[in-house]
A = this chain, B = another copy of it.
Amino acid sequence: MAATIRDVAKAAGVGVGTVSRVLNNSPFVSQPTRERVLAAMAALDYQPSPTARRLALGRTHTIGVITPFFTRPAFVGRLNGILAELTATNYDLVLFSINTPEQRDACFQNVSKFKSVDGMIIIALGVQDADATVIKHWNVPTVLLDSHHPDLPSIAIDDTGGGRLATEHLIALGHRKIAFIGDTFDSPFGFISSQRRYLGYRQALETAGFRYRPAYQRLGDHGRYVAHQLALELLELHDPPTAIFAASDTQALGVLEAAHARRLRVPEDLSVIGYDDIEIAEYLDLTTIHQPMYSSGQQAATLLFELLSGNPPEETHILLPVEVVQRGTAAPPRTAHG
């Protein structure tokens, strides 16, 4: 049986309070006493119980992260940023992974998830009003990362602006026939980033005064294969686009594959722009929109700690900017005039 604080107290001939003080480096312990206690701890191979400590303190020294599809590069990157921030503070991180719509729906209802952490970060999951109510009810500081709700602090990325940026980049290159490939809008997980990128795409087209072409928009489940198929559909159109904006790099890969399958050269015959700037994008020389994944994770963690510390910042809805990373898959169309 493991030694407890009382065993140590008895062995050292002191009270439990004193042992606790030694454990917590309280200055109100005389040097001889401290040494006696430390010796007793060593002799008994005493290891304090984190669980008992948590109960007594009422704090778990742990933060939770809820993430869907934990393997997607965008989520891994964000989580990595959170982790970096956490290890600096010595907090533990408990990871909840959501892989099915059922898990998503059950997720916020599960109290013990929230009650076993001091704070929570929710990545990407769409949050409805009802969800926000439940979350606030748990009374656990929670920040949304890459998601948004008026009642909850959030670190979001300017998806609409990014969609606009990507489209404007293609327009600036001289493209007039620009297609969009993205996730379906009715994601059971409530992801809306693809939808917002689409919105930016539409805005840019409208500002440029281009007419609306429904055929140039293809939506499907997230993934390379689906995007591949959607791109093939676009390329088989009577009047195919000269450029495709994919709502994620993963989907852009599918587009590149489709172009390859159709023997189209990129960027000569088809320009492609992705979104995310995942690690492999640089290798593939993929023009894309860089979003600060690591940094957004860090900022989410920082914001959460500010909330935990009791002095929350003025602004709790942060929108991070994105930028175009010009690489080799986007160029002026061959038929461009001037």
Contacts and interface: CB of A to CB of B under 8 A. Distances in A.
Interface string A79-104: 11001100100001111110100010
Given A80-B70, A94-B93, A253-B283, A87 B103 contact: yes
Contacts of A62: 94
B60 A70 contact: no
Contacts of A111: 47
Interface string A50-86: 1110110000101000000011000011011001100
A280 interface: yes
A280 B62 CA distance: 34
A24 interface: no
A95 B94 contact: yes
Interface residues of A, number: 36
A77 B83 contact: no
Tallying the copies of this chain within the complex gives 2
Give chain A's interface secondary structure class. Answer: helix
B60 A87 contact: no
A116 interface: yes
A257 interface: yes
Contacts of A224: 283
Contacts of A84: 99
A52 B52 CA distance: 8
CB-CB nearest 6 A-B residue pairs: A50-B116, A83-B97, A50-B112, A51-B54, A94-B94, A47-B111
